[in-house]
Chains A and B, each alone.
Chain A
Amino acid sequence: MFCGIKSPEQRRLTVRCWMSVPLVVLFSLGAAAGVVLGHWHGWAAYLVAVLPALPILWVIYEFGVYLAHEKDEFQRMLLAQCLLGGIGGTLATTTIWGFLEDFAHVPRLDLAWVYPIFWLFVLVSWPVVWRRYR
């Protein structure tokens, strides 16, 4: 499945990103079950709430490792620009939404959506950045 990826760094990053997906699901379900069934609150709830964030932190760490180790400067720059596009889009969306919450009383933005919104903007940025260097 990953044999088509030539760079070992890219292959490593892709494999680890895919590995994180079941971990997010597993940890989220575990944390939800712990809080709902165990009725934990206080410090125990804080510790459980950290669980779904751990694979996300791992993915971010892996991206940092990739950017540090990727020898192809061009590929590194492309990814950095996409990630910047992602955070720019995320900040713009959440800021506008935050003020609309205050003024227009739109539904509250569930913070768990910030992570998917970020990756959505990274995906949108990718063809734009790629096309610039075609």
Chain B
Amino acid sequence: MERRVGSPARYRFDDRFLFIIVPLFLLDAVLGGWAFHYRHFHPTGILVYVCAALQSMPIIAFIVVLGLYLAEETDEFMRALWVQSLLWGTGATLAVTTFCGAMEKYGQATHMGGGMIPFVFYIAMIASLAVNTWRNR
């Protein structure tokens, strides 16, 4: 089996993803699934903002981890691949949100929550990364 050796920056990115992002997503899932759906937890006052901040943490942490990776990566080619993918993700997100916003305004579509926007971005970014990697294989 071929062993693929990445850069130290990539190792750090993988570590941060595994030990920071994954636990935060698990916390998010527990909070969303157990507290809000099973226990019907309805936070009030300052707790609302704490819960919103907690549930936003994985997305914000992922952005920070990506930024750190891009700052630490010394391989110009890999950095260019990631930057291209991030830009495609940005483009797709802006296009989809503008389109959905227009559809909502004309009363043709239901409201897409702000929490969905990062998922649009990450799906587009991952698809673009896969295409870019395949093109440069």
A interface vs B, CB < 8 Å?
Answer: 28, 31-32, 35, 41-42, 45-46, 48-53, 56-57, 60-61, 63-64, 67, 80, 83-84, 86-88, 90-104, 108-115, 118
Chain B's interface: helix, strand, loop or mixed, by majority? Answer: helix
Q: Does B38 contact A (CB under 8 A)?
A: no
What is the minimal beta-carbon distance from A119 to any residue of chain B, in angstroms? 9
Q: Are A96 and B52 in contact (CB under 8 A)?
A: yes
Per the bound structure, the CA–CA distance linking A50 and B90 in Å amounts to 17
Q: Are A98 and B117 in contact (CB under 8 A)?
A: yes
Contacts of B99 in A (CB 8 A): 49-50, 53
Query: Nearest B residue to A85 by beta-carbon distance?
Result: B67
Q: Are A46 and B103 in contact (CB under 8 A)?
A: yes
Contacts of B93 in A (CB 8 A): 87, 90, 114
Q: Does B20 contact A (CB under 8 A)?
A: no
- Given A41-B108, A97-B114, A98-B116, answer yes or no on A60-B91 (Cβ-Cβ < 8 Å): yes
B interface vs A, CB < 8 Å?
Answer: 43, 48-49, 51-53, 55-56, 59-60, 63-64, 66-67, 70, 83-84, 86-91, 93-95, 97-106, 108, 111-118, 121
Q: Are B97 and A114 in contact (CB under 8 A)?
A: yes
Contacts of A52 in B (CB 8 A): 98, 102
Query: In the complex, which of the residues B49, B53, B97, B114 has the most CB atoms of chain A within 10 Å of its own CB atom?
Result: B114
Contacts of A112 in B (CB 8 A): 97-98, 101-102, 105
What is the minimal beta-carbon distance from A130 to any residue of chain B, in angstroms? 16
Query: Nearest A residue to B52 by beta-carbon distance?
Result: A99
Query: Nearest B residue to A118 by beta-carbon distance?
Result: B94
